[in-house]
Structure formats: C-alpha cells, structure tokens
Amino acid sequence: MMKKTDLFSFLSRLRSVSARRDEHHMRSNLSRFCFPVLLVSFILLLSPASAHAAKTQDTGPLAILQRIETARAKTHSLFCKIEVRIPKESGKWSHFPMTVEFLAPRFYRTEMKMAIEGDVLTVADGKTIWSYEKKRKRVYRQDQQKAIDYLREWGPYDPTTALLVPEVPLKDLFVLESASHRKGLLTVLLRPIKPVPGYEEVKVVFREKTLVPVFAETFSGGKTIGRLVFKKCRKNIKIDPARFRFTPPAGVKVSEVQ
C-alpha cells in the first residue's frame, strides 16, 4: 500500500540537507507525482464559474463545487508559470520556479528547478506518471489509475487532485468552508472531509474582475506550509500532444511506485 503523504510534507524537507537523502526520496515519491496535478488543479479552481457562483444567489457550498466541476470540464488545455514558495525557519522563503502544461483529460507535464534536488521533469501520459530527477539520474514510474483509486480510498491526500478526476465528485472529498470577497479579491477555502496527513485547509485567492490567479496556500496547525504564486496562465490554447510523452533516458534507473 502506498504511503499517505502530500505535496507540502515533501517540499518542507527541502529546507535542509541531510545524509539521509536516499530515504527522503523514496518516502516522498507519491507526493512527487501528485505535485504537478496540484498545481493544475488550483488553476482550474480559479475559474469564471466559481466566481460567478460566489456572486449570485446560488452560493451554497454544493452549488459552488458543482460550478467548479463544470469549469473543469470546459478547460481543455493549460499553460502556466508558477513559483512555489516554502517558508524557512528563519522566516524567509525558499523559491522554486515551475512551468505546467495540461491537456484534458489526464495529460500533464511540469518542469521544476529545485536548489537541492536539481531539475525535476514530470510527465503524465494518461496511463503512467513519470518523474525524472535529472541531477540524480533517476526515473520514478507510477500507474495513474492506481493514484486515482488511492484518492478514492484515502481522500485528497494531495490537496486538490480530485479536481482533475471527474469520477470522484468534489462534494465527496471537500467541504467548502467559505467564498469571500474583499478589496477586489475572491477567496475560496476548502477542507478535506477525511482528515489527511500534512495539511488541513487549502485557500485560493484570485483577482475578482479579471479572474487572474494571485496565489494559493496550504495550511496545517494554523500555519502556512506552502504557497503557489501564479505568474502567467493561459487556458484552452493549442499544445502538442507529443509534449506528454516520456521515454526514460538510456542507462537511467527506473523505480516503480507501488
């Protein structure tokens, strides 16, 4: 059985370097696969449909979640530049730039530059999720359907993976705690129905008039444990399907995620 984990428990480990890096990698493999889906999911949440629901009479939690479902179905492709920020003990932030490409229904590609781990390329081809650590010259492979099945059983261990899985209704995974307006911003707060390790709430904020994403945050114990800052996003553009294919480089070890 796969270990229950999440994006920000993985990223929090990047704050320090230890001699146990191999163990770190193996224990954080599931979150490494979930990471790009998380980013894409946050952007899909920031849709005209969700903003409309918060501004009309149909503002009940189930209605808003349903509008998010509808908006997700209308998003056929996506390109985005995002900056991942993780708080340090000193009070400063670590910054990790990333690009994300998405093609419905289950294809995505991300490239992330991490100071400690080196560049990481992740590709989901609809059946398999590949994660290539260029610096370490390692490839991790996971069955994509198994990741979805795990989501059904244990809940949204990765904050909003479910937003890209139509067969798992959002109302079965999340409680929409609030959808508020303030100073030109719309804020949506979600809490998983089933308690999951690593985070307790997810907040997404975007500009109300233009619906341009500002940032998303994940919380645990009342503290921010990770932030996604949106730099540039384009929806429903033409993307070459070949971008979502991956062949392990010759001589690189491939590890299976069970």
pLDDT tens for 199-226 read 888 887 777 766 667 888 888 888 888 8
Sheet with strand 107-114: strands edge to edge: 174-182, 185-192, 201-207, 213-220, 223-235, 77-87, 93-103, 107-114, 118-125, 128-133, 138-143, 253-257
What length does the chain have?
258
pLDDT of residue 14: 36
Q: pLDDT value at position 139? A: 96
Strands (E), 115-244: 118-125, 128-133, 138-143, 174-182, 185-192, 201-207, 213-220, 223-235
- What is the per-residue pLDDT for 146? 86
Q: What is the pLDDT of residue 162?
A: 52
Q: Three-state SS for 238? A: coil
User: Residue 223 is encoded by which pair of tokens?
Assistant: 């503290």
- pLDDT reported for residue 127: 92
Domains of the chain, CATH where assigned: 7-172+230-257 (2.50.20)
Q: Over the stretch 25-63, which tens digit does the pLDDT of each residue have?
A: 333 433 433 443 354 344 444 444 444 444 444 556 666
Mean pLDDT within 229-249: 92
| pLDDT mean over 106-116 | 83
Place of tokens 């690189």: 252
**Better-predicted residue by pLDDT, 120 or 28:** 120
Strand partners, 181: 186
pLDDT at position 38:
53
Which parts of 59-145 are beta strand (E)?
77-87, 93-103, 107-114, 118-125, 128-133, 138-143
Taking only the tens place, the pLDDT of each residue in 173-196 is: 788 888 877 888 878 888 888 888
Give the whole-angstrom CA distance, residue 203 versus residue 23. Answer: 31
CA distance 49 to 68: 6
Whole-number pLDDT of residue 239: 95
Region of residue 95 (left: phi > 0; alpha: psi -120 to 50; beta: else): beta
Q: How confident is the prediction for the chain on average, in pLDDT?
A: 73
Over the stretch 98-108, which tens digit does the pLDDT of each residue have? 898 888 888 88
Question: How does residue 80 score in pLDDT terms, banded at 50, 70 and 90?
Answer: confident
Q: Which of 4-13, 30-39, 72-81 has the highest mean pLDDT?
A: 72-81
Peptide bond before residue 192 is cis, with ω within 30 degrees of 0: no
Quick check: 1 pLDDT over 90?
A: no
pLDDT score, position 190: 83
210 backbone dihedrals φ, ψ, rounded to 5°: -95, -15
Q: What percentage of residues in the chain have a pLDDT greater than 90?
A: 14
CB atoms within 10 A of CB 251: 6
- In this predicted model, what pLDDT tens digit does every residue of 121-141 receive, in sequence order? 989 899 998 999 998 899 999
> Residues with Cβ < 8 Å from 129, sequence gap 6 or more?
33, 122, 123, 141, 142, 143, 144, 147
What is the per-residue pLDDT for 21?
36
Asked whether residue 77 carries a pLDDT value surpassing 50, the answer given is yes
Is 147 or 29 the better-scoring residue by pLDDT? Answer: 147
Per-residue burial over 186-203, b if 16 or more Cβ lie within 10 Å, else e, is bbbbbbbeeebebbebbb
